Amino acid sequence: MSEAAGAPPAISPRADWGRWLLYVVGPLVTTAVLAVLVLDRDVPLGVLGEWTWNRMPSDPSVFSLLVASLVAAGYLVVAVLGEMALQRVGARVLWAALPVLLIAGGLTQWALLELPPQGVGLERWPLVLTSHATSGYLEEAHQLDDLGDFVANYQAWLARQGPFHMGTHPPGLIIVSRWTLDLAAANPWLERTLPGWTPRRLRDGFLLLGDRERASARLVTAASLLAMGTWLLSLATTLGIFALGCASGSRAIAWRAACIWPLVPSVLLFLPKSDCLYPLIAIAVVVLWPRGDGRWGVARAFAGGVVLWLGLMLSLAFLAIVPIVGLVHLGRLSSSASKSRWLAEGAGGLLGVLVPIVLFGWWWDLDLIAVWRQNLSKHAGFYEAMPRSYATWVVVNLVEFAAVTGPCLLLPALAGIGARSTWKGREWVHVGWVVTLMALNFSGRNLSEVARLWIFLAPFACVPAARVVAGFGGQGGLGDLEPGHGRWCWLLAGEVVMAMILVSMVEPLLPVTLSR
């Protein structure tokens, strides 16, 4: 086939080696450098005197490292076999391949989460959910006499909070926590059933919470539901990434992108905190946004707006999704067959946010706009209470985000996006992602803790990374899938190594322990 007929331009061996260095060797070397820094206990993980992450009190056991390595190797086999089946059988295999991928991903995460030493691993999750030192939403919900009265008076309650967790968040997390407590109270069988469905160390943690903290059975059951629910929903982000990849035109690349997510270190570090729910919501907003094919465009936009509102009920971090969706929508303007339809879809998305605001305010007697303004004001006060060095953190933030996202995911994604000369349709999501990252960093809105605060942006790296590694041919290095799996497997292995080192060495939560 000639180039005029649409074949990709020929790539010289020298150019191909250049891409190997840029997309594979570079990320692997960066992973090695960051691994050495993390393993060196004399190197601070942050900025001394302002914010540093703690390290684990001891190293992981050889046995847990061996088990995690074997399980991760099995996951890579599942990923490669799934892609081969997808190529040979086609889309018909997806009904089986995706559930298998989720199960394999969950087992791999479980093995990695077993790496921390006793007392600071899975068994500490219950205390993380109930302690005001780490979040406190569940404990606050547990103390409420009446949820309706609390929400109606939320602004007055918010005014009494400091510029920390409680003061900077909308009421959604407390509402969800209270509903979970009510679910536990109304279904006592959950107390008997849930322990059999949780990992042993997590189950021990809930038993110790009840014994040592004298927590009620209702609180322990609710904490168990929230912990397992957060884990499963964070894993379900895999499906959202697959859907985003399919919208970009290739199921094979979508599969590769989805396979990366269970290995991303940041989610493993911060489970079971609510931040790990945010990637699924963020990716859902973009996936639901109209594709420009005219099918259910306004309805899709409205649904995307509703999901965005749900996110804003949990955290104002979701304001950062607005420029991503905005660029996707603007990117479709020139190719839209009907400008009126394009405008209607934009209006549908806006209504998807505004209608729930009005209905929520009417039902709960709460002005959400005023609450959000209070949250932003509280957030601004955080840096008055906890000063940060701007110039230092804008550099440290990028290094930290690269480490917890995984250099083997982040660097190929950025390199592939930077190599692109033209963009069309939904590909603007990648540009929006980079613009949002840079805006958050250089605006000074997040000076420290980006490992946790930017978790919701991590899934947007998966599709561009999968595309650029899939084939070095084509415009800007984002070509079609090639038969070999070598480059992709090297990068997945790099993600595994980074995840193992961070999960086993870094203590991302406050140093609270749970032991007899």
**For the segment 320-353, what is each residue's pLDDT rounded down to a tens digit?**
999 999 988 887 776 666 788 888 888 999 999 9
Residue whose token pair is 């957060």 = 230
What does the pLDDT average to over 50-79?
92
The two three-digit tokens of residue 67, written as one number: 């088990």
Residue 512, by phi and psi: left (phi above 0), alpha (psi -120 to 50) or beta?
beta
**Cα 203–chain centre separation:** 25
The two three-digit tokens of residue 72, written as one number: 């991760």
| 3 state DSSP class of 183 | helix
Residue 1: pLDDT over 50:
no
Per DSSP, the residues of 360-372 read: HHHHHT--HHHHH
The two three-digit tokens of residue 288, written as one number: 């639901």
Lowest average pLDDT, out of 157-161, 233-237, 354-358, 421-425, goes to: 421-425
* pLDDT of amino acid 379: 83
DSSP code for 484: -
Summarised one tens digit per residue, pLDDT across range 463-507 is 999 888 765 433 333 333 444 467 788 899 999 999 999 999 998
CB neighbours of 445 closer than 8 A, spacing ≥ 6? 379
Residue 400: pLDDT over 50:
yes
Alpha helices in 365-461, H assignment, sequence order: 368-385, 390-405, 407-419, 428-442, 450-453
The Cα–Cα gap between 420 and 403 comes to: 24
The Cα–Cα gap between 14 and 358 comes to: 60
* pLDDT of amino acid 7: 40
**Cα 506–chain centre separation:** 18
Lowest average pLDDT, out of 27-36, 368-377, 502-511, goes to: 502-511
CB burial of residue 134 (10 Å; 0-12, 13-18, 19+): middle
**Do residues 409 and 465 make contact, with C-beta atoms less than 8 angstroms apart?**
yes
Using alpha carbons only, how large is the chain's radius of gyration in Å? 23
| 3 state DSSP class of 127 | helix
* pLDDT of amino acid 214: 56
* pLDDT of amino acid 191: 81
* pLDDT of amino acid 482: 47
**Cα 288–chain centre separation:** 17
Confidence of residue 372 (pLDDT cuts 50, 70, 90): very high
Confidence of residue 205 (pLDDT cuts 50, 70, 90): confident
* pLDDT of amino acid 425: 62
Mean pLDDT, the chain, rounded, equals 85
**Do residues 133 and 141 make contact, with C-beta atoms less than 8 angstroms apart?**
no
**Do residues 236 and 245 make contact, with C-beta atoms less than 8 angstroms apart?**
no
CB neighbours of 233 closer than 8 A, spacing ≥ 6? 276, 277, 280
**Cα 211–chain centre separation:** 33
The two three-digit tokens of residue 258, written as one number: 């989805």
Residue 10: pLDDT over 50:
no
The two three-digit tokens of residue 265, written as one number: 């270190």
Residue 365, by phi and psi: left (phi above 0), alpha (psi -120 to 50) or beta?
left
Distances 6 to 2, 289, 419 between C-alpha atoms, Å: 7, 30, 20
Instruction: Provide the terminal-to-terminal Cα distance of the chain, rounded to the nearest Å.
Output: 71
Lowest average pLDDT, out of 41-45, 52-56, 212-216, 230-234, goes to: 212-216
The C-alpha angle with vertex 242 and arms to 229 and 287, in degrees rounded to 5, equals: 85
**Do residues 219 and 142 make contact, with C-beta atoms less than 8 angstroms apart?**
yes
Summarised one tens digit per residue, pLDDT across range 133-172 is 777 899 889 989 899 999 999 999 999 887 777 888 899 9
The Cα–Cα gap between 418 and 434 comes to: 10
What does the pLDDT average to over 221-239?
94
DSSP code for 463: H
* pLDDT of amino acid 121: 81
Half-sphere exposure at residue 468, Cβ-oriented, CA atoms within 13 angstroms: 29
Tell which residue, 496, 472, 475, 476, has the closest CA to residue 20.
Answer: 472
The two three-digit tokens of residue 292, written as one number: 């420009």
In one-letter notation, the amino acid at residue 21 is L
Alpha helices in 276-386, H assignment, sequence order: 278-288, 297-314, 321-331, 339-364, 368-385
> pLDDT higher for 443 or 14?
443
3-state DSSP of 11-38: CCHHHHHHHHHHHHHHHHHHHHHHHHHH
The two three-digit tokens of residue 218, written as one number: 């209702």
DSSP code for 293: S
pTM of the predicted protein model = 0.90
Tell which residue, 327, 324, 283, has the closest CA to residue 307.
Answer: 283
Lowest average pLDDT, out of 16-20, 57-61, 79-83, goes to: 16-20
Lowest average pLDDT, out of 262-266, 296-300, 361-365, 403-407, goes to: 296-300
* pLDDT of amino acid 392: 94
* pLDDT of amino acid 511: 47
The Cα–Cα gap between 482 and 39 comes to: 36
* pLDDT of amino acid 426: 66
